[in-house]
Amino acid sequence: MNQTTLTKDAPIILDATCSFSKIWPKFATVRIDVRPECKPDIVMDAKDLKFTDNYFDEIYCDPPHFIRKAPLSPRIKIVRRLSGRKSPDAFTRYGWWKSEEEWFDFIEKTNKEFYRCLKKDGLLHYKITDAGGCTKPSDLIEKMTNFKVIEDKIKPSKSNLPSNGKTHWITFRRIKNDTSI
């Protein structure tokens, strides 16, 4: 089988917040993160993408879900380490927003950058957790003014959040109206 037929016209996909796991999506072309310790392909902030206009077919974004003023205290981290837990706490692994204003700033800036870097019919996929102390899907949907929601899959959260915690897998389509940015 000729390998070029498998990759001809393959979509160019950005994982804009790859974190440590790099599992969503497994098939990303380029993985970026602001944290070098995550070992992304490129250390870059999703709020200031260094890619040309209309470059990507799809962008995946799984930003931090927690909003809190500080990470876990060193005492809690020590107790977890002594209990034999190998992976770091969720705040260290996935990051967090220090305030709603910081989260809203991220949405505002990525709204513009993702729009600029996506092709005309490009898709934007966001993963958002909806639970106490977390980001709100409604805020994201309201502030992503350059995009239209085409799907919102809601599933129970797999984390240790309250039982009513839900994970939203929201797919947006880029709006073709260039006057919106």
Task: Show the domains of the chain with their CATH numbers.
Answer: 10-68+95-180 (3.40.50.150)
pLDDT, tens digit (0-9, with 9 covering 90-100), for 91-147: 566 677 888 999 999 999 999 999 999 999 899 999 998 887 788 899 999 999 999
Please count the other Cβ atoms lying within 10 Å of the Cβ belonging to residue 22. 16
Q: How far apart are CA 67 and CA 171, in angstroms?
A: 22
**Structure-token match 């470059």, residue found:** 55
| DSSP codes joined into one string, 113-174 | HHHHHEEEEEEEEEEEEESTTB--HHHHHHH-TTEEEEEEEEEE--SSS-TT-EEEEEEEEE
- How far, CA to CA in Å, does 144 sit from each of 94, 113, 181? 22, 11, 10
CA-CA distances (angstroms) from residue 62 to 59, 129, 168?
A: 10, 10, 10
Find the length of the chain: 181
- pLDDT, tens digit (0-9, with 9 covering 90-100), for 149-178: 999 999 887 655 545 678 899 999 998 765
